[in-house]
Amino acid sequence: MSPRTQLSNNFLLDSDNTLFLIINNSHYQFLNQFMMYLTLYGREVFWVLVILFLLIFGKENGRKTTMFILVTMIILVPIGMMAKEIIERLRPIVPEADFLMLADSEYSFPSGHALMVSAGATITLILFRDSRKELAISVLLVVEAALVCFSRVYVGGHYPLDVLGGILLGVGISFVFIWKEKWLKMLYLRINNKFFKVKI
């Protein structure tokens, strides 16, 4: 942690570091490449495809869910960046042999991957569940988000507390927007009627 944000709870930080080392020192050859792919493509690439899929094939409920995801993620980008600059937690420092990927140069808390994928998974799970097929898709997205979050610790990019912070922030902001569903639904109706010409 930075001098500006030193936590007095050494037990929490020691536990965080211990759990990081347990996960990061438990690499398995058959998992390494998969975890790197999750880190590289499990946020931007995967969720862009999810958004396009919901927009094209998700019908009315998919389009509404897409709008909630987009608005939430757009808001979360500056929130995550500001949180990193305020907390100023440095990236994990472990022996070079334990790194599967080079760490980013930006600060560590909260995890941007965890922030985004947890928000997308939360919104989808709550809104995109009107049928068994929709619910199955939403559950699979939750599993994907969980794997991406784990991969960030596995490859050495984040401490577990960074990931937990990203999840809590992403889920929390998602619930705020879902709570304001009436306002966002009005926005959705305007966009839907303008671009899709669908009467609701």
Banded model confidence at residue 4, pLDDT cuts 50, 70, 90 = very low
Q: From residue 186, how far is each of 69, 167, 180, 193 by CA, in Å?
A: 15, 28, 10, 11
Q: How many Å apart are CA 41 and CA 151, to the nearest integer?
A: 11
Question: In this predicted structure, what is the pLDDT of residue 7?
Answer: 45
- Which residue pairs from 94-99 have beta carbons closer than 8 angstroms and sit at least 24 positions apart in sequence? 94/20, 94/21, 94/24, 94/156, 98/24, 98/25, 98/27, 98/156, 99/155, 99/156
Q: What is the pLDDT of residues 113-155, one digit of tens each?
A: 999 999 999 999 998 988 899 999 999 999 999 999 999 999 8
Q: How many Å apart are CA 18 and CA 56, to the nearest integer?
A: 45
Mean pLDDT of the chain: 83
Q: How many Å apart are CA 69 and CA 5, to the nearest integer?
A: 31
Looking up tokens 């998700």, which residue turns up? 58
Q: Residue 91 pLDDT more than 50?
A: yes
Question: In this predicted structure, what is the pLDDT of residue 140?
Answer: 96
Q: Which two three-digit tokens encode residue 50?
A: 């999810």
Q: How many Å apart are CA 111 and CA 84, to the nearest integer?
A: 9
Question: In this predicted structure, what is the pLDDT of residue 167?
Answer: 96
Query: How many helices (H) and strands (E) in the chain?
Result: 8, 0
Q: How many Å apart are CA 136 and CA 163, to the nearest integer?
A: 25
Across 189-197, average pLDDT: 59
